[in-house]
Amino acid sequence: MMAGISRRIFPPLGFFLLAAIPFFLLSLHGASPDAAQGDANQMFLPLTPGTSWVYVGTVTWTDPESDTVQGVTTKASITMKVEKVIQKPELTLAVISGYPGDLDWSNGQVEPKPSLLIETRKHEVFLNSLPPDFDYAKLEKDAAQLDKLLAEDNLVFRWPLKQGMKFGDAESVKRDDGMYCWTVVEQRHKKLDGIKGLPSRTAEVFLLRYTTNPDDTQLELLPGVGILSYEYHHHGTVADTSVSLVEFHPGGPSPAATGASR
């Protein structure tokens, strides 16, 4: 008699497994892009071919033909796109075009330039500008070339991010004034509204700044999406860029960072 009661009260283990499947699938479907900040098996940046980000804002520049020393401000837009991806066991390399910094020192009319984003399985993100005649075959075969691209000066950040963290070469990171290295100057929750391709929600974002004597650059980052806003300010001759993300178009599922460590 007791055995019969036990069977009715405690169904077989298989029942629980079957019942749990819908909830498991629902949790995967509902996972937010910024979950990458705390998941070792995800990537911070969606580096898949075809992924694109559209930025809109303004540039302020000095017109050499004008008699005034005041800068000229005009609307600007640029589309950043992943053109090519190379997967390696220890990292992902993505050739991109239209990095927002291409707008710096321009009148807002620019041709997108090639750049290279690298995200390693140690959660390091590097950014390199590339010459127009760069030999992309070197990315797959030339170990020495890869070492140069992974130099400390090209390191933008390492995640998980936290306010106060610094990234760059060893000497610059030690500076007390926070200059000549990337610094996480702010960590906050922001309401995301009006960005095509992203649901309206509140998400944790990180503001990184790189300051030198002549200029400063800042990036607002959202895990799983990338750059939310970009600003550049020159401290002498007028040259300013300020753009924000208005559209995000993922090219496909983000590649898993298999074997990544926290």
Residue 167's domain is classified under what CATH number?
Answer: 2.40.360
- What pLDDT is attached to residue 66? 67
Would you say residue 149 lies in a domain? yes
Model pLDDT for residues 64-115, shown as the tens digit of each residue: 776 666 789 999 999 999 999 999 999 999 999 999 999 999 999 999 999 9
- Cis previous bond, 160, omega within 30: yes
Residue 74 lies in a domain: yes
In this structure, is residue 199 part of a structural domain?
Answer: yes
CA-CA distance, 56 to 31, in Å (whole number)?
28
Residues above pLDDT 90, as percent of the chain: 70
- pLDDT digits 0-9 by tens, 22-73: 433 333 333 455 555 655 458 999 999 999 999 999 999 987 776 666 789 9
Residue with tokens 């939310």: 228
Q: Is residue 197 part of a domain?
A: yes
- Asked if residue 52 is part of any domain, the answer here is yes
Q: Tell whether pTM > 0.75.
A: yes
Q: Which of 183, 202, 182 is nearest to 192 (CA)?
A: 202
Number of independent structural domains in the chain: 1
Task: Give the pLDDT score at 226.
Answer: 98
User: Per the domain annotation, does 11 fall within a domain?
Assistant: yes
CA distances to 61, 86, 242, 256 from 74, rounded to whole Å, are 8, 37, 11, 40
Q: Is the pLDDT of residue 254 over 60?
A: no
Q: Tell me whether residue 260 is in a domain.
A: no
> Distances from the Cα of 144 to the Cαs of 90, 134, 137, 139, 141, in angstroms?
15, 15, 13, 10, 9
pLDDT of 212 strictly over 90: yes
pLDDT of residue 62: 86
Can you give the pLDDT at residue 127? Answer: 98
256 inside domain: no
pLDDT for 20:
42
φ and ψ at residue 173, rounded to 5 degrees: -65, -30
Instruction: Give the burial class of 160: count Cβ atoms within 10 A of its Cβ; 0-12 exposed, 13-18 middle, 19 or more buried.
Output: middle
- State the pairing for strand pair 201-211/215-222: antiparallel
The chain-wide mean pLDDT, for the chain, equals 84
DSSP codes of every residue in 170-212: HHHHT-TT--SSEEEEEEEEEEE-S-BTS-SEEEEEEEEEEE-
pLDDT at residue 39, as a whole number = 55
| pLDDT greater than 60 at residue 223 | yes
What is the reported pLDDT for 36? 55
Cα Rg of the chain (Å, integer): 23
SS3 content of the chain, % helix, strand, coil (to 5): 20, 40, 40
3-state secondary structure 51-92: CEEEEEEEEEECCCCCCCCCCEEEEEEEEEEEEEEEEECCEE
pLDDT of residue 260: 31
Burial of 223 per CB tally in 10 Å (0-12, 13-18, 19+):
buried
Between 19 and 130, residue with greater pLDDT: 130
Its domain, for residue 65, covers: 2-27+36-249
pLDDT score, position 6: 36
* Residue 142 pLDDT class (50, 70, 90 cuts): confident
